[in-house]
């Protein structure tokens, strides 16, 4: 007989379940990780996946994610099943005031998740929407992070994220997920880990140095002129760089290649690889150079020597298995995150020159 995991919203609110020591719990048979986006955060969250599978190798670990990242997660053999939450479809029903259809969609989604009869549901995002989705999934034990977001009462347990003060010298990659692994298993978590497809399946040619110049926010971009100069110098040294990115990065890639003057000697894969194929290309590279973006974090997760260029965001400085160099100037205005105060000067990135990046590359390759 299937165990009844359903509980009403009122019941979840009124019942305040105190944290239970990990040893008091039976080993989980099925676990759901709720981490919906974005690529870099999904890469970080594979630290959870690796830690859970090491602690409970017989457990089935599923993942709930937005559709655009589903293929990437399906390429990971440690994930038993990938569920998709179609945020855009739900939002469209809401905006169109098609409330009855939205309710039926939510009910069907809830039934599909609860049919898996999860022992644990882990909210690895800490947002109101991820907490709601975790509650819809059921689970006898729902765990997540403390945050200012609402609906925290839908989780049974919440743990604090580790806080690293400036100058962030001890900040580990995926530190919050490593802490959660330790909370659940008693064993410290490790760096993110990705299994990659064989490169022969990807259509991308082997790269010596993989470059990840593109990200979603201008305050995280290293200047295009610096990328062009870096390409020139890499080619002059006899390297064969590979440029990686998505379809939306095509125009910026064309500008960089044109300015470099060595476009014919660059393996340009921007917009030509899916995420699993990009991971395969990164896994085959001698080293990875990139900004604070998902493809750069893949370099760490694939155990590649990595040079990461940070400016407006908090840098991780340690915790990788392979050699890692993080370039971050630590200006007084940094990290500004989503609220730059420099008027578009982005000095925190402009003042990191190609020579510094090449020196860091030499160090990680030598290590």
Average pLDDT per run of 10 along the chain, which is 367 residues long? 39 41 72 97 96 96 98 95 97 96 97 98 97 97 96 96 90 96 95 75 62 94 98 96 96 98 97 93 95 97 97 94 96 90 93 98 96
The answer to whether position 353 is within a domain reads yes
Is residue 157 domain-shared with residue 15, that is, in the same domain? yes
Q: How far apart are CA 142 and CA 140, in angstroms?
A: 7
The answer to whether position 139 is within a domain reads yes
Which tokens in the block code for residue 246?
A: 């998505």
CATH of the domain at 45: 3.40.50.2000
The answer to whether position 191 is within a domain reads no
Is residue 209 domain-shared with residue 131, that is, in the same domain? no
Bridge-based pairing state of the strands 120-123 and 79-84: unpaired
Is residue 39 domain-shared with residue 109, that is, in the same domain? yes
Which tokens in the block code for residue 333?
A: 């205005």
Is residue 219 domain-shared with residue 273, that is, in the same domain? yes
Is residue 172 domain-shared with residue 235, that is, in the same domain? no
The answer to whether position 173 is within a domain reads yes
For 251, other C-beta atoms within 10 Å of its C-beta total: 9
Q: Which of 185, 208, 233 is a domain's end point?
A: 185
* Cβ atoms 228, 260 nearer than 8 A: yes
Is residue 160 domain-shared with residue 259, that is, in the same domain? no
Q: What one-character DSSP code corresponds to residue 24?
A: G
- Coil, helix or strand for 212? strand
- Among 18, 5, 31, smallest CA distance to 155 is for 18
Q: Which of 162, 185, 208 is a domain's end point?
A: 185
Number of domains in the chain: 2
Is residue 159 domain-shared with residue 30, that is, in the same domain? yes
The answer to whether position 193 is within a domain reads no
Q: How far apart are CA 37 and CA 24, in angstroms?
A: 32
Is residue 169 domain-shared with residue 47, that is, in the same domain? yes
The answer to whether position 192 is within a domain reads no
Is residue 360 domain-shared with residue 289, that is, in the same domain? yes
The answer to whether position 194 is within a domain reads no
Is residue 230 domain-shared with residue 113, that is, in the same domain? no
Q: Where are the beta strands (DSSP E) in the chain?
A: 30-34, 60-65, 79-84, 120-123, 141-145, 157-159, 209-212, 241-243, 267-268, 287-291, 306-309, 324-327
Is residue 164 domain-shared with residue 253, that is, in the same domain? no
Q: Which of 142, 159, 185 is a domain's end point?
A: 185
The answer to whether position 171 is within a domain reads yes
Name 288's Cβ contacts closer than 8 Å, sequence gap at least 6.
209, 210, 211, 212, 282, 295, 296, 298, 299, 304, 305, 306, 307
- Among 142, 138, 148, smallest CA distance to 124 is for 142
Domain that holds residue 175: 9-185
Is residue 29 domain-shared with residue 52, that is, in the same domain? yes
Q: Would you say the C-alpha torsion 109, 110, 115, 121 has a positive or negative sign?
A: positive
Q: How far apart are CA 325 and CA 288, in angstroms?
A: 10
Residue 43 dihedral angles phi and psi, to the nearest 5°: -60, -45
């Amino acid at each position: 007989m299937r165990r009844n995991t359903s509980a009403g919203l009122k019941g979840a609110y009124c019942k305040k379940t105190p944290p239970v020591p990990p040893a008091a719990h039976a080993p989980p048979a099925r676990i759901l990780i709720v981490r919906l986006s974005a690529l870099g955060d999904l890469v970080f969250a594979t630290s959870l996946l690796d830690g859970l599978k090491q602690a409970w190798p017989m457990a089935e670990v599923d993942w709930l994610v937005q559709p655009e990242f589903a293929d990437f997660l399906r390429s990971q053999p440690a994930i038993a099943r990938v569920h998709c939450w179609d945020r855009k479809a739900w939002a469209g029903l809401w905006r169109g005031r098609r409330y009855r259809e939205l309710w039926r969609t939510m009910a069907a989604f809830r039934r599909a998740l609860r049919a898996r009869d999860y022992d644990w549901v882990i909210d690895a995002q800490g947002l109101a929407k991820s907490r709601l989705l975790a509650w819809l999934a059921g689970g006898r034990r729902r765990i997540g992070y403390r945050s200012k977001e609402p609906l925290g009462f839908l989780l049974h347990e919440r743990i604090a994220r580790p806080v690293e003060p400036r100058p962030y010298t001890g900040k580990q990659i995926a530190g919050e997920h490593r802490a959660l692994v330790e909370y659940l298993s008693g064993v410290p978590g490790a760096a993110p880990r990705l299994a990659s497809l064989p490169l022969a399946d990807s259509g991308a040619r082997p790269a010596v140095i993989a470059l990840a110049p593109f990200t979603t926010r201008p305050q995280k971009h290293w200047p295009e002129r610096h990328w062009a100069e870096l390409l020139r110098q890499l080619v002059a040294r006899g390297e064969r760089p590979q440029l990686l990115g998505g379809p939306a990065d095509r125009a910026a890639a064309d500008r960089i290649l044109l300015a470099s003057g060595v476009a014919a000697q660059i393996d340009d894969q921007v917009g030509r690889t899916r995420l699993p194929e990009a991971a395969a290309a990164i896994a085959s590279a001698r080293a990875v150079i990139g900004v604070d973006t998902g493809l750069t974090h893949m370099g760490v997760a694939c155990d590649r020597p990595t040079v990461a260029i940070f400016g407006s965001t908090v840098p991780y400085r340690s915790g990788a298995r392979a050699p890692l160099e993080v370039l971050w100037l630590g200006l007084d205005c940094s990290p500004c995150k989503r609220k730059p105060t420099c008027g578009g000067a982005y000095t925190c990135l402009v003042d990191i020159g190609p020579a510094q990046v090449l020196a860091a590359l030499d160090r990680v390759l030598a290590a």
